[in-house]
Structure formats: structure tokens, C-alpha cells
Structure 1
Amino acid sequence: MTIINSSESLPQASSEMTAADERLTTQEGRKDFWRATFSCWLGTTMEYADFALYGLAAGIIFGDVFFPNATPVVALISSFATYSVGFIARPIGALLFGWLGDRKGRKLVMVITITLMGASTTLIGLIPSYATIGLWAPGCLAFLRFMQGLGAGAELSGGAVMLGEYAPAEKRGLVSSIIALGSNSGTLLASLVWLIVLQMDKQSLLEWGWRIPFLSSILIAAVALFIRRHMRETPVFERQKQVLEEQRRLAMEKGHQQVAEKDTRSFWKRTKAFWIMVGLRIGENGPSYLAQGFIIGYVAKVLMVDKSVPTMAVFIASLLGFLIIPLAGWLSDRFGRRITYRWFCILLVLYAFPAFMLLETREPIIVMITIIVGMGLASLGIFGVQAAWGVELFGVTNRYTKMAVAKELGSIMSGGTAPLVASAMLSYTGHWWPIAVYFVFMAGIGLVATFFAPETRGRDLNLPEDAI
């Protein structure tokens, strides 16, 4: 394989054909590839539809349904508090299902997570309101949000690992960006459904209309579950199983067990790839959930702009994402993961303060453009690069576990708490500038992480060691 030169230092690709390239030489292997690709896209679509539905509902509806006696700002904080519960659950799900995926296979976990997420999201649509069952209503909401997060903690990384391990090495950035296309499709679907639902009169919307998006998610879950039950394990995992079985056979023939060499490296060197992934995730996830989570509620509840304006902005940004995401993946294949990611972080740092200044105009067109640009940078482009880079950072032995836990740890430190922290800042200071500083801080962490991260484009995913 030929690696295109760039200013970044790139690893040498293995001269041996990769597991993915080998499988793609057969017609059945190509069918497996497309089946896995569609399955991963659909599953991630559902995950992000669920989370986008909840984010939009938290900013627009849940305050009235589950916290009707609170002031607007307190209701917004309470809604985003239950929103954050899902992110607390995600690292737990990442650790549990990541461990299972590294030992029993990617396919098994992908079937479990889609079932868990589908059931949780559907049940959210069946929760009675606060007026009907009192405090049990927000309690049930928080519990189902936790269960939803438990499955989501492994779904996104599982999809990224599966696509990365199926993709040909020279197109891994582009193929892996399909995971980001799934997230974009989910956001698009959620915003489209909400645009339709918001046309209802207020009383019908609060009584039953808001439930429609959550109940309808069961259709996506059913289709994704059917496809995943008939999906084949990734070529990288299958080759790894063959290697381990051969090692066990040779050990048994020699009459002794193999003893792994003790790793004498420092703690930082042994965990460097993990902490780099945490930093990269903070730089993407924090700004992303401020752009498509907090700002939605801020514009609708605080600035009192018509609710259809931020919802339409999310919808338009999601449409543009079908161009932005694959372009970002292609750029990372062409120029390298590190330099592409770094430029997205720089643009996010430059975006924060002008964005809030523009939102203060309350002009619908300006507000929409500001939200669209923010999502294009934070929720679409940078995420399209992250998918392949995250998979390549880790060795095959514990890839799923390390990547999933690192991503979700970074997520809970940034995206999961960002809307809540921003709401608290707004309540305490009454101004947007601390939120802009917070935005810049998280994007800056991602920027700094790129200077410690290795370039991994074209890496053999069957290598056991992390790319450090």
C-alpha cells in the first residue's frame, strides 16, 4: 500500500495484506462489508436520534412536562440534569460492553446495545407527566435515561471499531466517517420529527405530541436488530482469534503455558494513547453538545427566539453534514488524521466569542447561521476525523474497551455535563461570556492533544500494541 506523503510523520504500513483487504477480495466479503456498513450507520443513526430527541426535548418540552413549577432557568437546569445522567452511564456501558466485545466479538455487543437503547427510548415516550404521578415522573425519566446511556456507551465506539476493522486501510478515514454520518442522520431525523411535532397546538404537544418521536424509535431499533443478527464478525477480530488459537496450540504442543512479558514502561507510556483519546474527545464532544444542546435551549428559553428557528438550524446543519462529514474523512486520508483534526480545533477556538455575540442579535437568520456553523465544526467535521483516528490509536487486544472507555470518559467530562455547566454559569452570572470561555477551554484541550498524538493513517489494525 502506498502512503501519501504529507508534512506529518506517518507510520509505515504493513507489507502483508490487512485482514480487511483480504476479505474484500471475495464477493461474499464485499457483501459482508456493505452489510456491516449499513448496520453501523443505522445503529448510530438510532443512537444519535435518541440523544438528539432528548436534547431537543430537554431544551424545549421537558421543563413544562416534568418540572412545571420551576422558573424557566431552573427548569432548563433540571432538564439538562436528567440529560447528564445518560452520560454518567456511558463510561459504565463502555467498560462492560467493551470488555465483552474484546473477548466475545464485536457483533454480540452490537446486538445487545441496539436492543437496550431501543427499549429505553421507547419507554421514555410512555412516562406519565408530573401532573399525573408527581416526582415519580422525573425519577422514571432519569432511570430510563441512564439505561439509554448504558447502551450508547458501547454503541458509538462499537460501530467505529467495526467499520474501522472492515475498511480497506487507504480509505479507512472515509469509511469510518460513516459513523459520523450515522450521528448526523440521527440528528437530522430528530430535528425533522420535532419540526413536524412543533406544529401542534401547545396543549396537545404537552399532553401527548412530544411522545411521538420517542415511540417511533422502536421502528429503527427493530430494523437494526434484524440486520445485526445476520452480520458477520469483523475480519480483524477473526484474524486475531486465529492468531490466539495458533498460539494456544503451539503452547500445548510444547507442554507449557506462554507467559506474557512484564511491561516495564512508565504509567504514562502504557496509557498514553488512552489519555490522548480522552483529550481529543473533550475537544470535540464539549463544543458539540454546547452547539447542538445548550444553545438550542438558550436561544428558545432565554433569548425567547421562536422555537422553530433553532430546530430548523439543526435540520439544515444535518443536511449539510452529508457533505461535511465524508469530506473531513477524505481529508484525513489525504493529509493525515492529526493535521485535519488540529485545524478543526483551531476553528472552534475562533468560533466561540463571535458566536454568542451574533446570537444576542436575536435575528432569526443570524441565529440560524451561527448554529449551523457551530454544528458544522463541532458536531460534524471534527467527528468525521475522530472515528478512524480513535480506532487506529489502539492495539487489537483491548481496542474496543480502551477506545470506548476513553471516549465516554472524555464525553462525561465535556459533552455530558456541558449543557448543565453552561446553564449554571448563565444562572449565576447572567451573561454568556463565561460560557464562551468554557467553549474555548474545551476546544483548546483537543488542540493540545493533537500535539501529543501520533499520526496513524494506514496503520495495520491487527498490531497488538497501541500507536504510541
Structure 2
Amino acid sequence: MAEDRKDGAATVTAADARKVAFGAFVGTALEWYDFFLYGTAAALVFNRLYFATDDAVVATLAAFASFAVGFVARPLGAVIFGHLGDRIGRKRCLVVTVTMIGIVTGLIGVLPDFTTIGLAAPLLLTLLRLLQGVAVGGEWGGAVTLAVEHAPPERRGRYAAMPQIGSPVGTLLSSGAFLAVAQLPPGSFDAWGWRIPFLAAFPLLGIAVWLRRRVEESPLFEKLLEEDARASSPVREVLVRAWPQLAVGAGSTLLGVGGFYLITTFAISYGTTQLDLPRSLMLGATLVAAAVEIGVLVAGGRLAERYGAWRVTVGGGLASALTAFPAFWLIDTRSAVAVVVGVTLATALLSVPYAVSGALLSELFPPHLRYSGVALSANLAGVVSGFVPLAATALLAAGGGSSLLPALLLVGIALVTAGAGAVAPRMFAEQDPVTTRG
């Protein structure tokens, strides 16, 4: 339990801080498992079973367009849950978001395809994706805020990285689930096999809700309640008074989200359709990359504590820009080992700024606007990121099937993040007494 000190800081025991961070991690892992499932299915299933057309490129574009809808909806979730999180509490909102996305994902697993219900199939699928986006839009910002506000100040970097680790774990679970069902005969895979990973969201939801309900509310938010220091309209205040921080925050998170989807969701489609590589190889490369990413995220959190989150963001952005072309050249060799190395290298480097994005965004916004500011920043970047696979596919077609233009897109995204990281220190909010270790 949190107690107040004479200097105004809230005291939280190390055990409580770890419990909160673990709860944030588990909930975020489920959120990203559900969200990433759609991206993998868009590349392997939805383009054939829900967006039926004789033109494979058009079908893929349509599937990725529905994929992008989830990202367009994320700012709406950030507005709704950011307002509620800064008004009624972080914990309550996080229970709602994890429940919402678990139910929606399970429903995708029972949705009839185009041959069964016709045009209603892609329309309903897109609607469910939109609801997924609303839930995720409120999830990550709240999880990061709750973890940071329970963390000892000197360890915010590692605690802020905990929700980030949910991303590669979600990737491992979703890609691993699809890799398993991909071993089924093609007929069985299309008929029912691909649905199993989506239906697994129901039992996973029960675990996540149980953990979320056991987590204590943010001690800093409770102090804001006591002092009646909450913003009356936190989202409006962020948009009107903190829009420079909002822009910088969005730019700093662009690589970790948009770059990730370029090197995973787009790369899976590119490898299987353009290079005729096996589905199992591309999914396997994603699994290896996700496993390596976990280590990168842990290390990134420690680096943020030592050198500052903004410096780590700049370094990761520049490194990603330098290795974008080599990563795609490795994939283009069609060699299994080279493909795995290319995907893993690109994912590892773009994960460096992603590891510290929670810590960086938390420094940009004061406590009474933090949930809204963090959520809006990340999800504005998410809107752009949702169109990255679509844009990369269009660039691929424009370039005659060459990976040159998609790789150049990755360079541009990486440089935006590096630039935002360099500007961020000028906009940091005044330090607040979040917690000290008891």
C-alpha cells in the first residue's frame, strides 16, 4: 500500500511496484497478442477469405486497409480512456480495455467468411477491428502511466519498459499460434485452423482481468484526488496547451510502432507473395526477432536510467536508419538464415527507442495530464503506423516488386524518431514526486 511522506512523495514498496509492473506487462501482452493476431491474419488469411478478389495485390491492400482501421480508431480510445484515466483512475480504465479487446478478438474467431455471409463478412470484420483499436488506444498509455507512477524515480526506466515487453511476448504468442496452426493441411487451416488463436483470447482474458483487479491504483492519482488537482478536461488541455509535447511524443514513438509493422506485417506479406518464401519461414523469423527483442527492451530500460531516454531514442533511430537497406537485402537473398538475420536485426534496432518510449513520454507530461498525453502521443503515431504496411505494399508495386522503396520508407520513419528524441529534452515537464521505494 502507498503512504505519504512529508516531502509529498508517495511511498510504494518494491514488492508493490513489481506487482503493478507485472500486471501492466500481462495485460499489455494480451492486448498486443490480440492486436498482432489481426496483422498476421491480414497477411495470411483475411486477404483470401474475407476480401475475396481475383487480384492478389488488391486483396492484400484491402486486408491491410482493414488492419489500418484499428490504428485510426486508437486516438478515439486515447481520448475516451485518457479522459477517464485522468478523472476517475488508471486502474478502472485498464480493466475495461483488457476486457473489451479480449471479447472482440474472440468474436473474430467465430465470424463467418465471405463465402458464407458475403459482403457482411468484411464489414463485420472491419467493425471488430475498429473496436479493437479503441480498446488498445486506451490500454498502453494507462499501463505505462500506472507502472511509472508506482516506480521508484531512479528505476523508472526499467519499470516503464515492462509494458513494452508485452509487445514481443504478444508477437511470440500470436506468431507461435499461427505457426502451429499453419502446419495443418491448407483446407483445414482455411476452414477452422486459423480461428484457434483468436478463440484462445477468451481464456487469456480471464487471467488478465484477474491480475488487473489485484493491482493498486496509482498513488499519485490518489494524491491528485485528495488535493482536487485533477484537470477538468485533460484531453482538451493536452491539445491546447501541450501540443508541442504531443507532436514530439508521437514522433518519438513512430519507429517502435510503424517500423515494427513494416518489418513484420509487411515483411511477412512481401516474403510469402513476392519472394515465394514459406509461411513458416517468415513466421519463424518473426518469432526469433521477438525473442531477441525482449532482451533489447530490458537493456533499453536500464540504458534510459543511465543515459536518459532521449539519448537512447536518438541512438536507436539513427542505427535503424543505417541498417534498413542491409536488412531488406538480407531478406531478398531468400536464404533462410539471411531472412531470419535481416528481420531480427531490423526489429532489434527499432526496439531500442521503443524500449524507452514509456519513460520518455512520461517525462513530457505533468501528472494531471499524463494518461491523456501519453495515450494520445502513442496513438497519433499509431494512426500513421497503421498505414505503413499499406504504404509499403503500394511502394512495392510502384517499384516493380523491388524492396528499395519500402526500405527507404523505414529510413524515413527512423529519422523522424531520432529527430523527435533530440528535441524532447527541451519540453520535459517539471519532475514530480511519483514514488520512493519503501
Give distance in 2, aligned partners of 1:15 and 1:457.
Answer: 25
Q: CA deviation at 1:457?
A: 9.5
1:23 matches 2:16: no
SS of the residue corresponding to residue 398 of structure 1 reads helix
Give distance in 2, aligned partners of 1:384 and 1:294.
Answer: 22
Q: How does 1:404-419 map to 2 (within 5 A)?
A: 404-413=375-384, 415-419=385-389
1:278 matches 2:250: yes
Counterpart of 1:46 in structure 2 is 30
Q: How does 1:57-456 map to 2 (within 5 A)?
A: 57-244=41-228, 270-378=242-350, 380-413=351-384, 415-430=385-400, 431-454=402-425
Give distance in 1, aligned partners of 2:81 and 2:428.
Answer: 27
Q: CA deviation at 1:272?
A: 2.1
Give distance in 2, aligned partners of 1:459 and 1:49.
Answer: 35
Give distance in 1, aligned partners of 2:50 and 2:421.
Answer: 41
Give distance in 2, aligned partners of 1:309 and 1:71.
Answer: 24
What's the % identity of the aligned pairs? 33
Q: Which moved more, 1:35-44 or 1:203-212?
A: 35-44
1:337–1:457 Cα contact (<8 Å) kept: no
CA 1:457/1:181 → structure 2, altered by over 3 Å: closer, same or farther? farther
Structure 1's unaligned 5+ residue stretches are: 1-13, 25-29, 248-262, 464-468
Q: CA deviation at 1:416?
A: 0.7
Q: CA deviation at 1:68?
A: 3.3
Matched to 1:364, the amino acid is A
Give distance in 2, aligned partners of 1:426 and 1:67.
Answer: 20
Matched to 2:147, the amino acid is L
Give distance in 2, aligned partners of 1:163 and 1:455.
Answer: 24
Matched to 1:272, the amino acid is P
Once the two structures are superposed, what CA deviation does each residue of 1:247-298 show, in whole Å capped at 9, x if it has no partner? 9xxxxxxxxxxxxxxx9xxx7x743211110111223322111012111111
Q: CA deviation at 1:313?
A: 1.0
2:392–2:406 Cα contact (<8 Å) kept: yes
Matched to 2:80, the amino acid is L
2:311–2:422 Cα contact (<8 Å) kept: no
1:169–1:459 Cα contact (<8 Å) kept: no
CA 1:191/1:455 → structure 2, altered by over 3 Å: closer, same or farther? farther
Higher-Rg structure is 1
Q: CA deviation at 1:458?
A: 11
Give distance in 2, aligned partners of 1:388 and 1:198.
Answer: 38
1:64–1:206 Cα contact (<8 Å) kept: no
Give distance in 2, aligned partners of 1:335 and 1:119.
Answer: 41
Q: Which moved more, 1:434-443 or 1:201-210?
A: 434-443
CA 1:18/1:184 → structure 2, altered by over 3 Å: closer, same or farther? farther
Once the two structures are superposed, what CA deviation does each residue of 1:170-216 show, in whole Å capped at 9, x if it has no partner? 01001111111111111111111111111100000000000000000
SS of the residue corresponding to residue 69 of structure 1 reads coil
SS of the residue corresponding to residue 222 of structure 1 reads helix
Runs of 4+ more than 3 Å apart = 14-18, 455-463
2:364–2:429 Cα contact (<8 Å) kept: no
SS of the residue corresponding to residue 397 of structure 1 reads helix
Q: CA deviation at 1:135?
A: 1.0
SS of the residue corresponding to residue 75 of structure 1 reads helix
Give distance in 2, aligned partners of 1:285 and 1:398.
Answer: 23
Matched to 1:34, the amino acid is R
SS of the residue corresponding to residue 70 of structure 2 reads helix
1:115–1:225 Cα contact (<8 Å) kept: yes
Counterpart of 1:9 in structure 2 is none
Give distance in 1, aligned partners of 2:339 and 2:6.
Answer: 51
Q: Which moved more, 1:148-157 or 1:56-65?
A: 56-65
Structure 2's unaligned 5+ residue stretches are: 231-236
